[in-house]
Amino acid sequence: MNNRYKLSSYVVVTDLIDANTSSDPWRIVYATRTGRTMKLKDRIYRHLVAGDFARISESTLIELMSLEVIVRADEDEFEEVLRQNIAALENSKTLDVTIQPTANCQLGCTYCGQVHQKKNVDTETSVKITDRICGNLVRGQYEALSVEWFGGEPLMAFSEILRMSDRLIGFCADKGIRYDARMITNGLSFKPAVFQQLLEKQVTHFQITLDGLGKTHDLMRITKEGAKTFDIILKNIVDVTSLPEYMERRCSILVRINVNERSVKTLFKLIDLLASHGLQHKRVRIDFAPIVDWGGNNAQKDSLTADGFGVAEIDWMMYAIKKGFTFGRVVPNKKIGPCMVVKPDSEVYDAGGNIYPCYEYPYTPKYETPEYRIGHVDSIDTVRNADAVTKNWFTDIKGDISPCKRCNLFPVCGGGCPKQWYNGDVACPSYKYNIEDKLVLDYLINKKGFVERYRDNPAQDPAQDPARTAA
């Protein structure tokens, strides 16, 4: 056994979680090859690290092997995980596409890298886009289509979205293909009547950004004319989530909070405000994201350091949990790729009919040159750039473009954001910097009664909580 097996490189282990209260303490072991966690006695963990498998009971060994904490000794784990990911993507039966039907947006966010124009997709181009998607569905024998509407601000092309949705939904219904859609919107036009029409077109999940409380948000997310937007967007979210059909159809809204030195100061108050509207009970979730460079605009200059963000994120999450918000699973699940750029037929379509691999490329001057484009709907059947930047991620990751091949989080991460690595930036997600804290938080959340006790203690300061100190 000892010679044939080894401790996987794809393992994260916490410090002792009960060192103060137990003479036989535990750790949490996170096997990133399966995305699963287990509690393990420290004394067994020490046998594991020493390769002394003979001193571990058979039942524990079986569990460790099923989690892929222990793997075959002769296996090149990076190559094996990559091979499995490529095979899983080739066999995927869901086609993911992003449609950016307008180059227009009412906002002029300070960190946005796009250059906007009053241009919506015209009818002829929109038909070519939907024909292209339908053709890919048939050629790839897909069983499901998942559409993301993005922009500019997608609701500036509202009627185009309704018409394109009709064509795609009709085609999928005819062919017995499942259909779902979601939208990233700035929320300014997200009125109940708009939501109701989108719901008819099966758009059920939305992402809307609020960058801190009122005045702070209004410093970063103003209209092009300089008008404030926070109150309008928040009212829209509250009004939409109050509609019975929002809950009945199991819709959801992800409130994205872009964090920099400014917005960080009002983050707890923003969470308080969202909770005061009862949004934690309305399938509204919160996501914290650092502001990064967008097409060479240096937007990250006021961001927290990656480490600083990682530490603070745990406190924000705990505070939000205390207020009743949920985060699904706090630690990431196993992932077969970083994002849509590695999926063979996944494409991004802009209002001019250009086809890209990544949704941050359209309308951004840095990415206007041909190497960033897969092609154009007019000529894609004959001219296709299979080497558009990011498309060769699975080959390039074996080289020096990033440290991913040496990272123990690779099976749950896939490589962060490939676009950033190709730009020479570091693209690790925040859990690179706080995974041990997240493991402890995940453990506590799953402990029966913990969340209720935590919420019921109004005096508790998140920074002083046992979940922070245990790690």
Binding site residues, ligand SF4, CB under 6 A: 338-341, 358-360, 390, 402-404, 407, 409-410, 413, 415-419, 427-428, 432
Residue 393 C-beta: closest distance to ligand SF4, Å = 8
Amino acid letter for position 460: Q
CB neighbours of residue 387 within 10 Å: 11
- 338/462 with CB nearer ligand SF4: 338
- 5/410 with CB nearer ligand SF4: 410
- 349/454 with CB nearer ligand SF4: 349
Per the structure block, which two tokens stand in for 459? 């005096």
Per the structure block, which two tokens stand in for 355? 């086809």
Q: Tell me the CB-side half-sphere exposure of residue 186, using CA atoms within 13 A.
A: 26
Residue 429 C-beta: closest distance to ligand SF4, Å = 6
* Nearest one of 153, 147, 154 to 181, comparing CA atoms: 147
Residue 363 C-beta: closest distance to ligand SF4, Å = 13
- 317/409 with CB nearer ligand SF4: 409
Q: Is-contact 99 147, C-beta < 8 A?
A: yes
Residue 142 C-beta: closest distance to ligand SF4, Å = 19
Residue 269 C-beta: closest distance to ligand SF4, Å = 29
Residue 228 C-beta: closest distance to ligand SF4, Å = 28
- 61/183 with CB nearer ligand SF4: 183
Residue 415 C-beta: closest distance to ligand SF4, Å = 5
Residue 381 C-beta: closest distance to ligand SF4, Å = 24
d(CA 419, CA 358): 8
- 36/277 with CB nearer ligand SF4: 36
d(CA 469, CA 452): 19
Q: Is-contact 108 224, C-beta < 8 A?
A: yes
- 160/360 with CB nearer ligand SF4: 360
Amino acid letter for position 3: N
Per the structure block, which two tokens stand in for 93? 């039966």
Residues 263, 269, 273: CA angle, nearest 5 degrees: 115
d(CA 355, CA 386): 11
- 350/360 with CB nearer ligand SF4: 360
CB neighbours of residue 197 within 10 Å: 16
CB neighbours of residue 398 within 10 Å: 12
Place of tokens 């790839």: 140
Residue 180 C-beta: closest distance to ligand SF4, Å = 18
Residue 155 C-beta: closest distance to ligand SF4, Å = 21
Residue 162 C-beta: closest distance to ligand SF4, Å = 25
Q: At what angle do helices 431-446 and 306-322 cross, to 10 degrees?
A: 20
- 296/466 with CB nearer ligand SF4: 296
- 151/462 with CB nearer ligand SF4: 151
Residue 10 C-beta: closest distance to ligand SF4, Å = 10
* Nearest one of 162, 168, 125 to 145, comparing CA atoms: 168
- 126/430 with CB nearer ligand SF4: 430
- 167/256 with CB nearer ligand SF4: 256
